[in-house]
Amino acid sequence: MKNVVIGLTFALGAVATIQPAKADVLFGVYGEAQYWMADTSGGYGNQPTFSGFDFDDENQLRLSIALHHPLPLIPNIRIETQDLKAMVPPGTAGAESFDGELDLSHDSAILYYRFLDNRLVRLHAGVAAKRFNGRVSDWEGNGWNLNETIPTAYAMVSAGLPFTGLSAYARGHLLAIDSSSLQDIEAGLQYRIFDTALLDGSIQAGYRYFNIELDDVAGLYSDVEFKGPYVGFQLHF
């Protein structure tokens, strides 16, 4: 999936460069990369009660591409691929031989409408599907293949400071079904570092929070948090 996102970004960028000018109201392609310095906490297991683990934190990478178009009744689309991993070293939960792996990597397909979309104010809202394709293992030899698709609500809001290239934004996925829930929320600042007729580029910095609580999903119970600062880069064709 990551290779698909990269390939689409370059292919659509090549198409965009032959256009005479960039026009947000007609057509736009956004490619984005985010490097997330996330701390991991919480726990998981095959029972609804478990201890918190001492995770070895890992930095995470997200790649995304979004396509905007002028057709009012057809939603815009954003595709993301997210690495989301952490290791549980020996000695956690009182087990010296503990060596577990938490892989919540997933791909997201997001369909949304642009209720407002200009350089000063943006408001997007819609729905998404997160397809988890990782694996979780614990110190007792238990393992879970997470081939699960989780639907979420999606929203993004952005406000810019005129004549500066600086804007603040927040983006989030939310879900709560029975005893399971998912929150994926980020907020940050974006600064446009160049702007031409063909494309513009921006750098991003902010803070992101991801929490997933599973209640007997494929036999797995979890309450795990990833949170921390991130930096990113966006190209708009």
Residue 119 vs residue 154, higher pLDDT: 154
DSSP 3-state of 14: helix
Nearest partner of 39 among 55, 51, 50, 52, judged by Cα: 55
CB 221 within 8 A of CB 46: yes
CATH no. for 2-236 = 2.40.128
CB 208 within 8 A of CB 231: no
| CA-to-CA separations, 67 to 55, 78, 126, in angstroms, rounded | 37, 6, 14
Residue 56 vs residue 168, higher pLDDT: 168
Q: How many CB atoms lie within 10 A of CB 47?
A: 7
Is the pLDDT confidence value at 112 over 90? Answer: yes
- Amino acid residing at 210: F
Residue 202 vs residue 146, higher pLDDT: 202
pLDDT digits (tens, 9 = 90+) for 45-61: 888 877 778 888 889 99
- The whole-chain average pLDDT of the chain stands at 86
Residue 12 vs residue 1, higher pLDDT: 1
- Residue 117 class from Cβ within 10 Å (0-12 exposed, 13-18 middle, 19+ buried)? middle
Q: What angle do CA 10, 151, 54 make, to 5 degrees?
A: 85
Helix (H) or strand (E) run with residue 156 in it: strand 143-161
**Bridge partners for 135 per DSSP:** 145
pTM: 0.85
CB 118 within 8 A of CB 156: no
